[in-house]
Copies of this chain bind each other. A is one copy, B any other.
Amino acid sequence: MLTVGLLGAGRIGAVHAQAISDHPGSHLAAVSDMTADAAQALAATHGAVAKSSDEILADPAIDAVLIATSTDTHCDLIEAATSAGKAVLCEKPVDLDLARARRCAAHVEQTSQPVMVGFNRRFDPSFGALRDAARRGEIGKSELLSITSFDPAPPPVSYVKVSGGLFRDMMIHDFDMAHFLMGDLPETIMATGSAIIDPEIGAAGDVDTAIATLTYADGRLAVIKNARRAVYGYDQRVELLGSGGLLQAQNMLENTVVKSTADGVVGAKPTWFFLERYMPAYRAEWAAFAKAVTDGSPMPVTLADGVAALAMAEAAATSLSSGAPVRLSTLS
């Protein structure tokens, strides 16, 4: 039984609390949050106790912590937790600053503690099935990857301002997905974007719609499309063209009902947002982490993977500013 402390009782913290509780081999023992009431409420729901994060890290009974606090605290907490001998599952992104994330990775390496970064989409059954089919060679050699990733509705501008920008906050998932599916990092990234959905997002210095093009050393190409608004729901699709065919992972739908009338043939919309779409993936993510901690086997998503995705996001942000492609190797 893995005894777990949860740091952060916000929206995503609640998602993880549920996933931990549902896991037969894990026990959610303690929850912390900057807001004591939030920690108290979430802890009560799952039969845990509210504590401070310091108390959790100091508690020798806690085997692992899940970090779901605000991004600016991630590296400090990863370092503190690994120093305290805990296994860590940390939400993405590792940090908004690539250099800080790299220092954190260096620290962790010294502790030899297992750290996993929470790229939940790697645990989506359809994306996983697509990757498995590609690895088995079912479409020959991979050549061109396309990722469509649209949120149903834009976040408040107040959030956008502290988010690190679309590339570090939203597209970072897709950069990791490209890494996951292509099995390698790109050589160059070229990004373009626009604040066409909400001019306030533009006034805040960010974009809400963006395209990134990735080139790989072996000639493969990838393109990622992001939009902060797709009024029909969470649009999360992947296509991979290879020498022997095409693999597509399509959206999950709310139900399977189709209505044909004089107005047309209407089917259900995609599931609304990440909770509806990815709750099974969050459960599978936790199970994979718990298994790796228990087995002592390698983490399925490493801190290095988290740093790599952040580097890709930084390259894209730089490209958006400069209007030119950025070589990933040039990022200091």
Binding site for B on A (CB under 8 A): 125-126, 129-130, 133, 138-139, 143-144, 146, 148, 150, 190, 192-197, 209-211, 213, 215, 218-221, 223, 225, 227, 229-233, 235, 239, 241, 243-253, 255-270, 323-325
* Protomer copies: 4
Closest beta carbon of chain B to A218's beta carbon, Å? 8
Establish whether residues A269 and B259, one from each chain, have CB atoms under 8 Å apart when the complex forms. no
Closest 10 CB pairs of A and B: A245-B261, A232-B260, A196-B219, A194-B219, A250-B256, A126-B255, A246-B260, A126-B256, A264-B266, A248-B258
Closest beta carbon of chain B to A133's beta carbon, Å? 6
Establish whether residues A225 and B144, one from each chain, have CB atoms under 8 Å apart when the complex forms. yes
A262 in complex: contacting residue of B129, B197, B232, CB < 8 Å: B232
Residues of B within 8 A of A323 (CB): 324-325
Residues of B within 8 A of A150 (CB): 241
Query: What separation, in Å, do the CA atoms of A298 and B109 have in the docked complex?
Result: 61
Establish whether residues A221 and B211, one from each chain, have CB atoms under 8 Å apart when the complex forms. yes
Whether A259 contacts B190 in the complex (CB less than 8 A), given A143-B197, A269-B264, comes out as no
Task: Please name the residue on chain B nearest to A208 by beta carbon.
Answer: B143
Establish whether residues A227 and B126, one from each chain, have CB atoms under 8 Å apart when the complex forms. no
CB pairs A–B below 8 angstroms (30 shown): A126-B255, A133-B257, A133-B259, A138-B261, A143-B194, A192-B213, A193-B221, A194-B215, A194-B220, A209-B219, A211-B221, A211-B223, A231-B245, A232-B261, A232-B262, A232-B264, A232-B265, A233-B260, A245-B259, A246-B261, A247-B257, A247-B259, A252-B256, A260-B269, A260-B270, A265-B268, A266-B267, A323-B325, A324-B324, A324-B325
